[in-house]
Amino acid sequence: MSLDLLFGLFIFAAATSVTPGPNNLMLMTSGVNFGLRRTIPHMLGIELGFGLLLLAVGMGLGALLHSMPGLQLAMKVASAAYLLWLAWKIAFSKASADPAPSAEKPITFGQAALFQVVNPKAWAMALVAMGAYVSAEAPVLSMLAVVAAFMIVGIPTAVIWTGFGMGLRNLLSDPKRLRIFNLVMGFALVATLWPLLR
């Protein structure tokens, strides 16, 4: 992979990773409700899940889904159902903005990793990245470069969004404001279904 192409890949990975989407909305909400330390498993789950999704798409899963409309529809239904469940969990979270750990639990490593399989934005990013940056001359090496680029920008991006949520903690220390924030974030997560339903 040329330096120009590698630079373009990192810019693409950074731009698509830092923009709002289901993962980043959930990380911001977790930052507000649980803080950085309790959100780390969520961050790592996103990294592992998305890395595995990238590899699966690079090895042909994306092409397989496009060739099987029934499987594509099943994935859309599963995506919508899981996203709605996560939105419900966020919207009606009883977590406290108090820095002390609450009885509520943040999204787990496994839940975050599993979510990547049904995350519409993750699929779009993976399909475009693998289509644009994997070369026929060195498919394995370029596929690994794509995965590495997203893994390198993924953690800082996750920390930024979690930190943004943590920055809102003082503003949302009032339980009523926190409840409104969680409801808004739950509805915002539902709104990310729009590209999937078109």
pLDDT tens, position by position, for the chain (198 residues)? 788 888 999 999 999 999 988 999 999 999 998 999 999 999 999 999 999 999 999 888 767 766 777 877 787 787 788 878 888 888 887 655 444 545 578 999 999 999 998 888 898 899 889 888 888 888 889 899 999 999 999 999 999 999 999 999 888 888 888 888 888 888 887 887 776 566
pTM: 0.80
Q: Radius of gyration (Cα) for the chain, nearest Å? A: 17
φ, ψ at 60 (rounded to 5°): 115, 0
Place of tokens 């780390």: 40
